Amino acid sequence: MLADQASDVPVKHQEANVRTTITIPDTLFSELMNFTEAASRTEAVQVAVETYVRRAKLEQLRALRGKLDITGTQKMDEADIREQHEQFDR
């Protein structure tokens, strides 16, 4: 997170949007619109991409099953959890 130098208030980074043209078969797109119940085509594609990325990240985590040695019972505070989420999302 960035900080505004004048006030030292944290400023969230805004992501740039990508604008693109894609060709998708009508029947597939109709199914996407039905499954997502999206109000717009843009929203439907965004939901589909977010769902795909989330599932791919879960698969990465599943691949680590049995490969991590986690010992100890130390509780993580919110800052530690937030930091780990930020590292994973990179």
| pLDDT tens digits, 5-55 | 555 666 666 788 889 999 999 999 999 999 999 999 999 999 999 999 999
**pLDDT at residue 1 is higher than 90:** no
Structure tokens at 61: 């985590």
Asked if 48 and 32 touch (Cβ cutoff 8 Å), the reply is: yes
Asked if 55 and 47 touch (Cβ cutoff 8 Å), the reply is: no
Q: Is residue 76 part of a domain?
A: no
Q: Is residue 61 part of a domain?
A: yes
- pTM for the full model? 0.57
Cα(13)–Cα(1) distance, rounded to whole angstroms? 6
Q: Is residue 56 part of a domain?
A: yes
Residue 43: which domain range?
A: 25-70
Count of domains for the chain: 1
Q: Is residue 11 part of a domain?
A: no
Q: Is residue 59 part of a domain?
A: yes
